[in-house]
Amino acid sequence: MTPIYLGYTFTIEPRDPATEILIAELGYAGFESFTENEAGVIAYIQKDEAFPNSQDVDYDSLLTDIQIMNSDEFTITYVAEEIEQVNWNEEWEKNFEPIEVDGKCAVRAPFHDKTDVLYDIVIEPKMSFGTGHHETTHMMIKHLLKLDLKDKKTLDMGCGTGVLAILAEMREAKPIDAIDIDNWCYLNSIENAERNNCKHIDVYEGDVKLLEDKNYDVIIANINRNILLQDIPAYAKCLPEDGILLLSGFYTEDIPLISEKCNEHGLYFVSNYERNNWVACKFERR
């Protein structure tokens, strides 16, 4: 049976950087695919996934936790409707351009030409988050390029497409666990790991409960603020002295709150990158 989708057409003023922020927040809320246009973005979600137990569709209810909708810095309006099935691969192929980070790492699709960089990552994102285009993924790549990962046991939590786990393996981390609660991300990460000839990545479907009795030298978590605040205690238990925790998926103004929670569990701020008010922070276990 062909699924029915809901399409949300957002008009955003000013368009940048609000469009990227909105896409990230909608992705965390379960929206599956996005098409940008001159006015803003169209976001898609399966009707049965959004409203599994109800015939009555309350379009507004899916946006109650989207922080940027209530921001004084942007004006965001939308219209929503049921739409016909979308060819998702065709949609993302129209808009997915290869990116390069620090002249060392490129993230591209299978239909792009090979790039002349040290780490050439081939990703077919489909409905998963993590092409490298969003600020958070871009900054996490920058962190990983700076770290000594050789033989470091690594976790990519909320792995999306698996792009960060793949880069970690390319930088000689092993073994690597990649975890995502979303089934599509789980399957997509397996595909992308195989596509990049990775031998040391194990992908799991689930959440923080899978970390019980686990130990890692490096943990990467690009999720969102509320999930991070909830899961930081579990991350801390998995890290040894001098273990590294990389966190992203939140804004500059959230750093004090994130740092406070980390400090409570023996994790201390080292450095961060910032792009368009998004941040990626490095913490160390002491």
What separation in angstroms does the CA of 261 have from each of 5, 96, 268? 38, 36, 10
Tally of residues, the chain: 286
Boundary of a domain, candidates 49, 67, 91: 91
Q: Indicate if 68 and 101 belong to the same structural domain.
A: no
What the block records as the tokens of 182 is 């979303």
What the block records as the tokens of 91 is 């949609």
Q: Indicate if 30 and 47 belong to the same structural domain.
A: yes
Which residues lie closer than 8 Å to 151 by C-beta, 6 or more apart?
172, 173, 174
pLDDT in tens, 80-109: 998 766 565 566 566 677 889 999 999 998
Q: Indicate if 67 and 169 belong to the same structural domain.
A: no
What the block records as the tokens of 254 is 């959230």
131: number of Cβ within 10 Å:
24
Which residue range forms the structural domain that includes residue 44?
A: 5-91
pLDDT at 47: 86
Residue 63, CB half-sphere, CA atoms under 13 Å: how many? 20
pLDDT in tens, 213-226: 999 999 999 988 88
Q: How many domains does the chain have?
A: 2
Q: Indicate if 66 and 26 belong to the same structural domain.
A: yes
Q: Indicate if 158 and 100 belong to the same structural domain.
A: yes
3-state secondary structure (DSSP) of residue 233: helix
